[in-house]
Structure 1
């Protein structure tokens, strides 16, 4: 299934036309990681009034107006990330280390004059990794319920609303093209994991399964900033940055239930968000007192406007055989 949506980072959670899963995943795009030059990261990004650092073109574009000479910068980072999950008295840790190339930028300083009101016109470009999504999770144990119970509950809920998986399969119709069909219930029915008897869907595996769950997230948001900044009388600095964004985020799931005696099934899904976006940033730095280093920084950012493609797919493999191919 593929859906094209247009969202704004400012009103992401209220975007019309996006289903619940899309809105939840797209909300990940709003926040940003603290990446940039070592100086910028070391100061926690609090350089809005200081300027003079390539990374500031993404926070206060006027900071590039401080430059009086050309500059080139690049930086790397080493990250440790992990998850911890607990179930049935067991703790499952999944820790990973990762090197990443976070930042490269350049500034061209163009001097206009020493005594003219406009002293410098500077141009800058900066790439940095705005967001990383790398995370893995693993958990397993004996559950006191089965996902098949949820599948049958979903199928019966659809039946109450006039949507019958049995009739769809009898008529050889594709259930996945019907917006009234829940995918999990449809996959369970196609995988012969539950039956239809006496006017309702029922599961026929009373045993408690041993379940395994894995998930993996990867990808990120790359940000490209293009900047122009002005130095006016060494007292007022103005800047404008146009930001371009490239989004590539993938999350995959794997879940299995083992009932023993070679009775088992597994289900997996993959969700991907890809696309691009843009925003504008305007800023000013003012030095109100000529003989003082005191500065005031101001910046205004527009929302980030994204055009995204949301793609999802799922599969189910089963070694459990039921009779819905005979009764339904």
Structure 2
């Protein structure tokens, strides 16, 4: 067989006990962060790497804690209103979701030394910060040419360099987690659910169960009259930060943060296809992922003059221990198969897999200018090396080489530009604005669907990221010298493409095998958030 796509992911996944447990797309999902923190920080686009003096710096440049001249405690509440709209082969859908979150609780203590030069003081901070929310619900409806049945058949046929999965491995009873079989879960589920089969003389060449033979006895697969994807995600990534900083002569500020992170992610998805005349298929997936990890952030701020500050920070990777719980069910009905028109199957309900995950590291370069006593402007530029994402065995002593190859091939250095400004109208009242730009860290071969993508388990859909923009504004008011309130409005917009499954670039005229070209739905994700921070200085 001739194959444009690589076989690398398949060969690894077939060697693992759970088969198809994780993928590069999972690594990317858990490596992303959002604009979060205090209302003041978010209203200025999060550009506080050189400014300091805000609790959010513990997650970015902890040297900024050294700017504090008093102790402080604060909390942030968040109202999020999300809209997801899709266009799949010209059919449009839109869904909304509103959610209230408690996103931040922070404390910083200030301890002066009494010296006029040298170490003038040090600060200690503790914070809880939600760095990403996964909550969103979206739907896509369309009329694609290729079916999920075509994809599962192609994956079973294209499993190895020299052929497909033997049909006998797909027929055995209770085949899941059987290390002696060569079949991965998606192929087993698709076969037992009637999505595909083999009607030729070769027992490792498969085709969609939906279609008919032509006059030359060649199978012509049918296209669905309508296909629908329903996806619901929930959960979050949270950080617990323990930070310390030093103020050296009001000229150099040093800081470090030990971060503890947890991941809580839930996914439910359903893929339906209607072929007309009562023929249909569907596949449901439920996935739960939990993880705990740790990281170290370090940073420095230099103030060469009263009006200027420059900052550099390094955020280490986060090293996680992860656990997945997965379940899937498939069903099909093909009226032409009078002896058994309806077929269904499901995976084991105790499907569990333990593994390790390392997120990418990040560098942050910052500069800020103080204009008199009333205004300031700040800029942060972040570099996130997505090529260093890694998935590995449970102990973290060995990374999966095939996924590492995919990550290096499909991702590049991620960039984030943050700009923020503040103007103090009166000593008590300030107005703020900001902007954030994030281009996609994915290579064009991935975002344009030119690259075969190996997804995890029986979950076939995935999204590719386009550019992300944040537009922010806010205000702050100090009621007393001690008590204050900050309010922020954050508008986020991102373009994505939702693939029901990957394209499969195989072609073999002898075995009547043709490529499968997936048609993505164009998705626009718009989110408006209102954040309120209440703080007290002492």
Alignment TM-score, normalising by the size of structure 2: 0.51
Following the alignment from structure 1 to structure 2, what is the Cα–Cα distance between the partners of residues 156 and 40? Answer: 52
Please say if 1:205 is aligned against 2:210: yes
Inter-partner Cα distance in structure 1 for 2:91 and 2:164? 43
Aligned to 2:44: 43
Q: Deviations over 1:278-299 (max 9, x none)?
A: 211222223334xx34333232
Deviation of 1:163 (Å): 2.9
Q: CA deviation at 1:26?
A: 1.3
Deviation at 1:86, TM superposition (A): 1.6
Helix, strand or coil for the counterpart of 1:122? strand
- State the match for 1:66 in structure 2: 67
| 1:183 match | 185
- Contact kept? 2:169, 2:183, Cα under 8 Å: no
Gaps of at least 5 residues in structure 2 are 1-15, 212-221, 342-538
- The aligned counterpart of 2:268 is 252
- In structure 2, the residue matched to 1:316 is 330
Q: Deviations over 1:196-238 (max 9, x none)?
A: 4342445453364432211122212101111111223333322
* Distance in 2 of aligned mates of 1:90 and 1:162: 35
Specify whether residues 175 and 293 from structure 1 end up closer, same or farther in structure 2 by C-alpha distance, changes over 3 A only.
closer
Contact 1:195 1:324 in 2 (8 A): no
Q: Tell me the distance in 2 between the aligned counterparts of 1:171 and 1:188.
A: 14
Q: What corresponds to 2:527 in structure 1?
A: none
Aligned-partner SS, 2:308: coil
Report if the CA contact (8 A) 1:193-1:320 is conserved. Answer: no
Distance 1:103 1:144 in 2: 47
Q: CA deviation at 1:129?
A: 1.0
Deviations 1:221-276 (CA, angstroms, capped at 9, x unpaired): 10111111122333332221111111122333201223455443321113343212
Match of 1:5 in 2: none
1:1-328 to 2 correspondences below 5 Å: 21-115=22-116, 117-158=118-159, 161=163, 163-165=165-167, 167-168=168-169, 172=173, 174=175, 177=178, 180-200=182-202, 201-206=206-211, 208-260=224-276, 262-289=278-305, 292-320=306-334, 322=337
| TM-score calculated relative to the size of structure 1 | 0.80
CA contact (8 A) 1:196 1:324 kept: no
Does the CA contact (< 8 Å) of 1:104 and 1:126 recur in 2? yes
The 8 Å contact of residues 194 and 209 in structure 2, kept in 1 or not, is answered as no
Q: Tell me if the contact between 2:33 and 2:131 (Cα under 8 Å) persists in the aligned partners.
A: yes
Compare the two structures and name the one with the higher helix fraction.
1
Separation of aligned partners in 2, 1:51 and 1:143: 51
Structure 2: distance between partners of 1:48 and 1:170: 58
CA RMSD of aligned residues (A): 3.0
CA contact (8 A) 2:50 2:309 kept: yes
Question: Aligned to 1:197, what secondary structure does the other structure show?
Answer: coil
